[in-house]
Amino acid sequence: MENVQHTLTIENRKRITATGIEGVRDFSPAAFTLIYGEGRIIVGGSDMKITAFSKQTGAFAAVGNITSVKYAAKGESLAKKLFR
């Protein structure tokens, strides 16, 4: 899915939808990580649940209390993030 258009929408901090998503990693009710062509999207919150994900189309949706969204570039290591 390299070079695929990516969008991210958050509605009232209760619903998140995205396109261009290649995979979901590290999901819990408090946080999850989405994989897309340029890296990762880390979403934090509480009571979060995935309501839809299609690896074929790249469409993703979740609901819950969304408190943070962070983009991380491909290849960015934990050590690099800690020592910026």
Q: How confident is the model at residue 52 (pLDDT cuts 50, 70, 90)?
A: very high
Task: Please tell me the distance from the alpha carbon of residue 30 to that of residue 27, in angstroms, as a whole number.
Answer: 8
Rounded average pLDDT over 7-32:
96
Task: Please tell me the distance from the alpha carbon of residue 41 to that of residue 33, in angstroms, as a whole number.
Answer: 6
Say what the pTM is: 0.83
Rounded average pLDDT over 12-41:
95
Task: Please tell me the distance from the alpha carbon of residue 65 to that of residue 74, in angstroms, as a whole number.
Answer: 27
Structure tokens at 76: 């960015």
Task: Please tell me the distance from the alpha carbon of residue 53 to that of residue 17, in angstroms, as a whole number.
Answer: 10
Structure tokens at 40: 């990762």
Contact between 21 and 35 (Cβ < 8 Å): yes
Rounded average pLDDT over 49-78:
91
pLDDT at 3 (0 to 100) = 66
Residue 78 has pLDDT above 60, yes or no: no
